[in-house]
Amino acid sequence: MGELLLIKHAPPEITPEVISHRWVLSAEGRARCDWLAEICRCRRVASIFASPEPKTLETAALVAMNLQLPFHPLDGLQENDRTGLSFVSAGALEARISAYFETPDAVVIGSESARSVLTRFQAAIDIAVHGATDGAVAIVTHGTAMSGFIAAHNTVAPLELWRALTLPGVAVLDASTYRLLEPLIPFPNPQAPKT
C-alpha cells in the first residue's frame, strides 16, 4: 500500500447560531481547495473519501472536480458529535479539546468520548484504505478526530497535532501502518480561526 493523506477541511463560514457540523465552506475555504488539489495531484491521489458533514463534503467535491476523480462520503469519518454545544471562544474551545484528549474515556464534548470517536474513525479509515484502488488515498475529515487517530498510531500528542493543523492541512501517513511519513503540510499563511 502507498500513502494515506488525512486532510483537515478548508475554512468554513462560521455561523455561531448554527451547530458546527452543519457549517459550509467560506469563499476563502473554497479558494483554498485549489491548493489541496495540487497537493493531491503531486501525491498521485486516486481515491477521495470524506466525512458526511457539509464542510468536508464540499472540500472533497472541489478537490475531486479539480482532479476529475469521484469522491465518496463515508460515515464514521465525522468529527465528535457536538450536538447541544453552543458556540464558544477560541480559548474555551481549546480548553474543551484539551480535556477531551486528556480524559479519553469521558464524554467531555457533546455525546462521544475520544475513545469512541477513535474506534469508529479507525473502522472508517480501514474501509477506505482497503477498498481503494491503486494510488494514494485522500480522506477529508476534521481536526479533533484526525488528531486522535494520528496520535494513536504515532508518538505524538493529539492536542499538539490539533494545534498544528491549519484549515486546510494535510498529514501524510503510510497506508499500511498509519505512521506519519513526514511533518504536517500546512496551508501557507493561514488566517482562519480553528474549528
pLDDT over 90 at 71, yes or no: yes
In the chain, % of residues over pLDDT 90: 78
Residue 193 domain-assigned (yes or no): no
Residue 156 domain-assigned (yes or no): yes
Q: Is the dihedral of CA 181, 21, 31, 14 positive or negative?
A: negative
* Location of C-alpha cell 468529527: 79
Residue 190 domain-assigned (yes or no): no
Residues recorded for the chain: 195
Q: Tell me the average pLDDT across 126-154.
A: 94
pLDDT over 80 at 106, yes or no: yes
Residue 134 domain-assigned (yes or no): yes
Q: What pLDDT, on the 0 to 100 scale, is given for residue 11?
A: 96
- Give the number of domains in the chain: 1
* Residue-range definition of the domain harbouring residue 23: 3-80+87-184
Q: Tell me the average pLDDT across 67-92.
A: 88
CATH of the domain at 136: 3.40.50.1240
Residues with Cβ within 8 Å of 133's Cβ and at least 6 positions away in sequence, in order, are 46, 47
Residue 192 domain-assigned (yes or no): no
pTM of the model as a whole: 0.93
**What confidence tier does 34 reach under pLDDT thresholds 50, 70, 90?**
very high
Residue 68 domain-assigned (yes or no): yes
Residue 195 domain-assigned (yes or no): no
What own/partner pairs with CB < 8 Å and gap ≥ 24 does 84-90 have? 84/110, 84/111, 85/19, 85/109, 85/110, 87/16, 87/17, 87/20, 90/193, 90/194
Residue 194 domain-assigned (yes or no): no
What type of residue sits at position 117? Answer: V
